[in-house]
């Protein structure tokens, strides 16, 4: 869907050369939710704006659905943008227009006739759960409702790609989760590709399939969320993981220094049977295992259970992993020695 090849964005300020984005190569899969996480100033904002040509790369190529967004301009670029929706941290709605008219704005730009616009706007506002608020002005809407208008507007022209620029950073935690769930649902129902940037680990955990970690303009680590966070290689990634630890996730730094660490995950459905598989394994294999943490977490597939276990004897890690995997339990070996 999206291929970035050796993409850089260089600024010159006061005689100094600043690389906002530095030689980034990245493949973003179609139909999935990909998160780009980084602290402010890491270059993620510049990177996401290259995907719809709001920023032009200084070098390298940005291919979106086969089109080079770095070289597209004029009418071609405007046409390409119709198929790339974008939502923003501060919503960026026109305050002079009602919710309905804000959504219609995207259709006006696409040249959709008035009669068609009307029906499409109703459908979109229903999709994002804003029935009854169609005639409200943005000033009369809450943050979450404004973002829903933003999402409806971004989806108006049936895009293949949705870009989310810190879309939940201005919202409270509860509203954040509602908006994230809406995005997740849209991804599943419409099958569109979502790329989001965030500095919040929680956002990546909750809805992303893939993640790329950015630091100082570079992508330092990327891959499936489950893999990257099971075995973080970079200090920055570990820092982000600690960020969720503070929100109740597991912090490997708190585990006993010796022995193996395993993270077991199971779907909430049938979770009881799977959870009992753990005690069964302990008895059958004659293990000594300590539970360090057990909790329920929200993932793109629904709620699931997570257990972190510590095995004082690391040689038992592989047999246990094999036993549990055979019963449909996800096993990440966080540490093997």
Partner 1 sequence: MLAEWISAWLPNVRLAPLLKATEDTLYMTAMAGAAVFVLGLLLGTALHLTSPGRLLANRPLYWALSTLTNVFRAIPFIILLVLLIPFTRAVVGTILGVNAALPALIFGAAPFYARLVELAFREVDRGVIEATRAMGGGIGTVVFRVLIPEAAPALVSGLTVTLIALVGYTAMAGAIGAGGLGHLAYLEGFQRSRRDVTLAATLAVLLIVFVIQFLGDRLARRLDKR
Angle between helices 114-127 and 99-109 (to 10 degrees): 130
Write each residue from 16 to 55 as x if it is in contact with partner 1 (CB under 8 A), else as -, in one continuous string.
------------------------------------x-x-
Toward partner 1, which CB reaches closer, 92 or 298?
A: 92
Write each residue from 111 to 140 as x if it is in contact with partner 1 (CB under 8 A), else as -, in one continuous string.
--------------------------xxx-
86 lies in the binding site for partner 1 (CB under 8 A): yes
8, 31, 105, 327: which one contacts partner 1 (CB under 8 A)? 105
Q: State the burial class of residue 336 (Cβ atoms within 10 Å of its Cβ: 0-12, 13-18, 19+).
A: middle
11, 18, 73, 108: which one contacts partner 1 (CB under 8 A)? 108
79 lies in the binding site for partner 1 (CB under 8 A): yes
13 lies in the binding site for partner 1 (CB under 8 A): no
Pure H helices in 94-249:
99-109, 114-127, 143-155, 173-190, 201-207, 225-230, 235-246
Pure H helices in 54-97:
74-82
Concatenated DSSP letters of 166-209: STTTTS-HHHHHHHHHHHHHHHHHH--EEEEEES-HHHHHHH-S
How far are the Cα atoms of 11, 194, 217, 312 from residue 24, in angstroms, in the given order?
16, 19, 8, 41
Toward partner 1, which CB reaches closer, 169 or 293?
A: 169
Nearest approach in angstroms of CB 155 to partner 1 is 11
Nearest approach in angstroms of CB 105 to partner 1 is 7
Toward partner 1, which CB reaches closer, 138 or 217?
A: 138
Q: Give the Cα separation of 22 and 47 in Å (integer).
A: 10
Nearest approach in angstroms of CB 77 to partner 1 is 8
65, 82, 268, 297: which one contacts partner 1 (CB under 8 A)? 82
100 lies in the binding site for partner 1 (CB under 8 A): no
Q: Which two tokens stand for residue 313?
A: 């004897």
Nearest approach in angstroms of CB 2 to partner 1 is 16
Pairing of strands 33-37, 210-215: parallel
Pairing of strands 193-198, 33-37: parallel
Toward partner 1, which CB reaches closer, 133 or 238?
A: 133
Nearest approach in angstroms of CB 172 to partner 1 is 20
Is residue 36 within 8 Å of residue 165, measured between CB atoms?
no
Cα R_g (the chain), whole angstroms: 22
65 lies in the binding site for partner 1 (CB under 8 A): no
Touching partner 1, residues 160-199 (CB under 8 A): 163
Give the CA-trace dihedral at 39, 41, 44, 49, to 10 degrees. 150
Touching partner 1, residues 227-246 (CB under 8 A): none
Interface residues toward partner 1, by CB under 8 A: 52, 54, 78-82, 84, 86, 88, 90, 92-97, 105-106, 108-110, 137-139, 153, 157, 163
């Amino acid at each position: 869907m999206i291929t970035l090849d050796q993409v850089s964005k260089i600024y010159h300020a006061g005689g100094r050369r600043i690389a906002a984005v530095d030689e980034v190569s990245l493949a973003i899969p179609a139909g999935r939710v990909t998160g780009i996480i980084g602290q402010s100033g890491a270059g993620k904002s510049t990177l996401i704006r290259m995907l719809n040509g709001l920023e032009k790369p200084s070098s390298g190529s940005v291919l979106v659905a086969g089109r080079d967004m770095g070289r597209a301009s004029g009418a071609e670029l405007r046409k390409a943008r119709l198929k790339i929706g974008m939502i923003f941290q501060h919503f960026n709605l026109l305050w002079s227009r009602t919710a309905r008219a804000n959504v219609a704005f995207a259709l006006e730009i696409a040249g959709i006739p008035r009669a068609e616009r009307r029906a499409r706007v109703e459908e979109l506002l229903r999709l994002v759960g804003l029935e009854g608020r169609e005639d409200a002005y943005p000033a009369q809407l809450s943050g979450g409702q404004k973002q829903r208008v933003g999402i409806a507007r971004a989806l108006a022209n049936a895009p293949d790609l949705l870009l989310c620029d810190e879309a939940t950073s201005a919202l409270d935690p509860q509203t954040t989760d509602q908006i994230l769930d809406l995005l997740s649902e849209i991804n599943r129902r419409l099958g569109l590709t979502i790329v989001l940037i965030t500095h919040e680990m929680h956002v990546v955990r909750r809805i992303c399939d893939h993640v790329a970690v950015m630091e100082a303009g570079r992508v330092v680590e990327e891959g499936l969320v489950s893999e990257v966070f099971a075995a973080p290689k970079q200090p920055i990634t570990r820092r982000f993981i600690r960020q969720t630890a503070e929100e109740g996730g597991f912090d490997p730094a708190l585990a006993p220094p010796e022995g193996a660490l395993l993270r077991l995950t199971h779907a909430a459905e049938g979770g009881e049977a799977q959870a009992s598989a753990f005690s069964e394994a302990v008895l059958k294999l004659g293990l000594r295992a300590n539970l360090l943490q057990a909790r329920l977490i929200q993932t793109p597939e629904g709620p699931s259970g997570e257990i972190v276990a510590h095995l004082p004897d690391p040689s038992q890690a592989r047999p246990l992993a094999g036993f549990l995997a055979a019963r449909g339990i996800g096993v990440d070996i966080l540490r093997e020695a």
